[in-house]
Structure 1
Amino acid sequence: MKKYLKYITIIALGTIVLSCDNYVDIKTEGRLIPEETENYRYLLNNSYAFDITYGAVDVASDDISFQNEAQTTALGASDYYRPFTNFYKWSDVLYFDGERDYNMENMYSALYNANIVINEVMKSKNGTEAEKLAIKGEAQIHRAFIFLTLVNTFGKAYDAATSATDPGIVLFTTATVSDDIKRTSVQNAYDIILSDLNDAVNSGLKPVNSGNNVAFPSRAAAYALLARTYLYMRNYPLALENAEKALAIQSTLNNLEDFEFNAFPTRRFDKELILSKWNGYTSFSYAPQILSLSNELINSFDTNDLRYVLFTQPSSNFNSEYTTGRTYAKEGLTGESRNAGPTVPEMMLIKAECLARAGSGNLAMAEINKLRQKRFRAGQYVAMTATDNKDALIKVLAERRRELMGSGGFRWFDLKRLNKEPEFAKTITHAFAGQTFTLAPNSDRYQMPFAPIYFEYAPNLQQNP
């Protein structure tokens, strides 16, 4: 067991909860080996451990603006909110000495369990080969999501010319590690992500999981994450191909008009959700403090847009001292945290962007209008048009920002990839407590620094500059 304890200590994963009493067969060699196939199923059934993402990064994007003086005073005085304000200011140090990055730890904790399943389930007993392969496929989708999220948080945006040498993340692919913990390249991360997802689409998974099972990966989820991965790699033909494969399996949209005066569906009843990945902060009290939206984003909405009507509220609704702006408030409709998992709208947006980039602006706008039609009251919907392919791309990207606002790291990761294109590169400014902070395109601050505590366990872990 010593190797496992070292693994947990090095990454500071905290307590690993194995969730199932059946998972108890610990071999003397120091390896955890549940003999029966069903025990690996039990391990993956701990969906709470896998239903996570790196939620704090949302605060760094240009979607967010702390506009109210009372807000900055409250946030600046709070130890709890200090890491979020450091994200907002793109600080060199996000956490004080001794503080843990629980977003990262939770993801590596889930990775630990995924690696056990991936490496051992095919050798387990009393299960069919088809059952074992599908269980492995689920774990591979979880691992791919973890690596894709972490490499886009801590590594540079994918660039085919430099990613083989750009520092990425620590890539544990087994449940044992060496003493010398180092980051591998961005390319290494993407190689594993693509390998895992391509294996998963052929592993015999259910086409769709929904209801109570929406946190369990499906074949649609594998295609959807392949589409997201290729989008972040700026491989638009393959992003389009996989988005279309995901949509061929799951394509239902919610009509927001149905929920203007009725309860909004929780994720169990959300027909758009392909795979649930919570951002890790479930308290609605988190939203009005941290998810104050920028005027640039708010002003991009038609005020008849039901995403504006339902998902944002005046900041003054949450605190009488907040006199300006609006806040992302979807959490208040569901009582649940924000989702970073793939959805039908995300796939439609990927499809539309790739079509526009391929010179099919009219088809791109047709796809966008299918989505927008479900975002307005029937009597107020007006189809969007574009003058040419470039205009179509600009409008698709603006629609993507509105649809995916405030959650999942989508805007932050989009800023990183779009900075690779001079026409979309953007300088961001954030104001806080009388100071103005500026983030230039392709700045080193797009790679989040690791918390200092981890260098106590991994002295050769390369810090971001």
Structure 2
Amino acid sequence: MKLYYHYFLVGVGLLTGCNSFLDKKSDIHMTIPKSLDDAKLLLNDYTNLTGGFPIYGELGTDDYYVTDATWNAASSLDQRNAYIWADEPYTDAIQWQRPYKAVYVANQVLDILKGINAADNMEEYARCKGAAHFIRVIRAYSFHLLTELHCPAYTINSAPNDFGIPLRLESGIDGKSNRANLKDTYDQIISDFKSAASNLPIVESVKGRPFKASAYAGLARAYLDMGDFDNAYLYADSCLRLRPELIDFNSLKATDALPIPKFNIEVLYSSLSTTLGIMGANFALMDKDLYSSYHTNDLRKGIFFKATNNPPNSFLFKGSYDKSSANIFMGLTTSEVYLIKAEAACRIRHIKEALVCINKLLKNRWNKNATSEEITENDPDKLLALIVNERRKELLFRGRRWADLKRLNLDPRFQKTLIRTLGEEKYSLAPNSPKYAYRLSETVIDLAGLPQNKR
């Protein structure tokens, strides 16, 4: 079977429209994808569509720390800098390239379908046309993760003037990339998710492919980042009406090395980060205050963490939703959607529904043999603080904390200065610092002529 991928084009040159790169001749045996069979091959490339998403945001969070020895021994200077929020040039283009690789594949499939006469094979065309809408989920998802990493927090007033990301919507490789503003970037993310939500099936038999509830979850996540709590609530509710399932942590074995099953009933869309480096399973030590915040009867304490004596009285993370310690699971889950609905409901004063959501989640995390500590707080401000705290405890190492810190810093009630200590050196990141928008790789800047993030 011939593979018609031309991923070899998907380097920095592709993403930037670099003419010198495009002057290179491709292998004569490589063919541009143009048939329905080609589209199906592209759609089935699970690894390239769902793997290798950027890790820098998580590197900068307050959920973990590393020892001086681990930091000094790190082979990646970029990771060392990301850990201490150093405003230094970054050279690793993979953090930028891999999401755009998924975008490029998505655009290829959409372009293939534009050039095919549906009447030639109605059944196969219909099948691929439906899959094209799942491709829109991948494009929106990729754009959103890049936006969370490289752009400032979204506000209605500043978004039209803030830098967004390049919105590559065609599969052509010779067009120049330009950074859209942040408003247009989120408009495209929302548009793609809505298009997918309107056309995806309610049930998808192929594991790893998104379905209607996946698109609703993506919309809920995006609207939460935008501070549009009415729509975040609406789409979280739509998602949970279709897929309300949660794992009962009483059914898991805390003694297992990796207790949470891959493709479990909570997973709405699976995606993974690049390799972890200093955040690896044997290096990232859990923040002590965070670990202590879990009640003894909270089963997450045993499911998420394992003790280590290096250094003594420390804990490592083992609660991956991909049953792997090599990457971080960054996908969409019902547990996240319950938290989105709870927070959004609280913010728009639907207190009863907020309580129902947060308590349903916690009931599935609490030891069934112990008396459950149901949340009954009716004061909106106090309840919101409880929900935000549970969100951090639930979504640990799930690619959410960086975006949460960024958006919550807009609210004085939740602002937090982050501190890193390495030997005698202390590093800090102030609320609303421009460094919350990580610098673009200098490789991308140099080749594309894109403007760097403001400082």
Task: Tell me, yes or no, if structure 1 residue 301 matches structure 2 residue 294.
Answer: yes
| Equivalent of residue 389 in structure 2, options 386, 389, 398 | 398
CA distance in 2, matches of 1:332, 1:407: 8
CA distance in 2, matches of 1:285, 1:351: 30
Normalised TM-score (structure 1) = 0.85
The structure with the greater share of residues assigned to strand is 2
CA distance in 2, matches of 1:311, 1:141: 29
CA distance in 1, matches of 2:337, 2:321: 25
AA of the residue aligned to 2:346? A
% identity of equivalent residues: 26
CA pair 234-463 structure 1, distance change in 2 beyond 3 A: closer
| Equivalent of residue 356 in structure 1, options 327, 346, 360 | 346
| 1:275 paired residue number | 269
What is the number of residues matched between the two proteins?
Answer: 430
Larger CA deviation: 142-151 vs 421-430: 421-430
Shift of 1:144: 0.2
CA distance in 2, matches of 1:329, 1:188: 38
Larger CA deviation: 228-237 vs 297-306: 297-306
Shift of 1:406: 1.9
**1:395-427: CA deviation from partner (whole Å, max 9, x where unpaired):** 11111110001221x111011111111222221
Task: Tell me, yes or no, if structure 1 residue 153 matches structure 2 residue 134.
Answer: no
Query: Are the equivalent residues in 2 in contact too, given 1:224–1:347 (CA < 8 A)?
Result: yes
CA distance in 2, matches of 1:221, 1:354: 18
Task: Tell me, yes or no, if structure 1 residue 286 matches structure 2 residue 280.
Answer: yes
CA pair 433-308 structure 1, distance change in 2 beyond 3 A: same
| 1:64 paired residue number | 64
**1:3-31: CA deviation from partner (whole Å, max 9, x where unpaired):** x9597525389xxxxxxxxxx884xxxxx
CA distance in 2, matches of 1:283, 1:152: 21
Task: Map 1:205-220; keep pairs closer than 5 Å.
Answer: 205-209=200-204, 213-220=206-213
Normalised TM-score (structure 2) = 0.87
| 2:312 paired residue number | 323
Task: Map 1:63-102; keep pairs closer than 5 Å.
Answer: 63-66=63-66, 71-80=67-76, 82-93=77-88, 95=90, 99-102=91-94
Gaps of 5+ in 2: 18-28
| 2:22 paired residue number | none
CA distance in 2, matches of 1:312, 1:342: 21
Task: Tell me, yes or no, if structure 1 residue 106 matches structure 2 residue 101.
Answer: no
Shift of 1:94: 5.7
Task: Tell me, yes or no, if structure 1 residue 413 matches structure 2 residue 409.
Answer: no
Larger CA deviation: 136-145 vs 424-433: 424-433
Query: Are the equivalent residues in 2 in contact too, given 1:282–1:335 (CA < 8 A)?
Result: no
Shift of 1:330: 2.1
Query: Are the equivalent residues in 1 in contact too, given 2:305–2:317 (CA < 8 A)?
Result: yes
Shift of 1:206: 2.5
CA distance in 2, matches of 1:154, 1:413: 10
AA of the residue aligned to 2:411? E
CA distance in 2, matches of 1:202, 1:8: 33
| 2:40 paired residue number | 41
Gaps of 5+ in 1: 14-23, 27-31
CA distance in 2, matches of 1:6, 1:359: 47
Task: Tell me, yes or no, if structure 1 residue 443 matches structure 2 residue 433.
Answer: yes
AA of the residue aligned to 2:92? R
CA distance in 2, matches of 1:293, 1:333: 19
CA pair 146-104 structure 1, distance change in 2 beyond 3 A: same
AA of the residue aligned to 2:47? Y
CA pair 77-7 structure 1, distance change in 2 beyond 3 A: closer
Query: Are the equivalent residues in 1 in contact too, given 2:331–2:398 (CA < 8 A)?
Result: no
Shift of 1:138: 1.1
* Superposition CA RMSD, Å: 2.7
Task: Tell me, yes or no, if structure 1 residue 255 matches structure 2 residue 248.
Answer: yes
Shift of 1:436: 1.0
CA distance in 2, matches of 1:383, 1:315: 32
Query: Are the equivalent residues in 2 in contact too, given 1:225–1:342 (CA < 8 A)?
Result: yes
Query: Are the equivalent residues in 1 in contact too, given 2:285–2:316 (CA < 8 A)?
Result: yes
Query: Are the equivalent residues in 2 in contact too, given 1:256–1:306 (CA < 8 A)?
Result: yes
Query: Are the equivalent residues in 2 in contact too, given 1:114–1:140 (CA < 8 A)?
Result: yes
Shift of 1:428: 1.4
Query: Are the equivalent residues in 2 in contact too, given 1:7–1:176 (CA < 8 A)?
Result: no
